[in-house]
Structure 1
Amino acid sequence: MALASLATLLILAGYAALCAISPFGPCRKCAGTGLRKLTKPVKVCRRCRGNRHRLRVGRRLLNTGRAIHRDGTRPHRSAHH
Structure 2
Amino acid sequence: MALASLAVLLILAGYAALCAVRPFARCRKCSGIGVRIGRRTVKACRRCRGQRYRLRAGRRLLNTGRDIHRAGTRRPDRYDTDRSYTPWS
TM-score by shorter chain over 0.5: yes
SS at match of 1:33: coil
Residue-by-residue CA offset, 1:12-51 (whole Å, 9 max, x unaligned): 0000000000000011111111011232212110111111
Once residues 35 and 24 of structure 1 are traced to their aligned partners in structure 2, the CA distance between those partners, rounded to angstroms, is 17
1:73 is matched by which residue type in structure 2? T
* Equivalent residue number for residue 86 of structure 2: none
**Structure showing the higher helix proportion among its residues:** 1
1:43 partner SS: strand
Q: Structure 1 unaligned segments of length 5 or more: list them.
A: none
Residue 60 of structure 1 deviates from its aligned partner by 0.5
Give the aligned residue type for 2:16.
Answer: A
TM-score, normalized by length of structure 1? 0.91
Give the structure 2 partner of residue 39 of structure 1.
39
Match of 1:80 in 2: 81
Identity, % of aligned positions: 68
Q: Which amino acid aligns with 2:69?
A: H
CA distance in 2, matches of 1:12, 1:39: 41
The within-5 A match list for 1:41-60 is 41-60=41-60
Q: How many residues align?
A: 81
Runs of 4+ in 1 over 6 A off after TM superposition: none
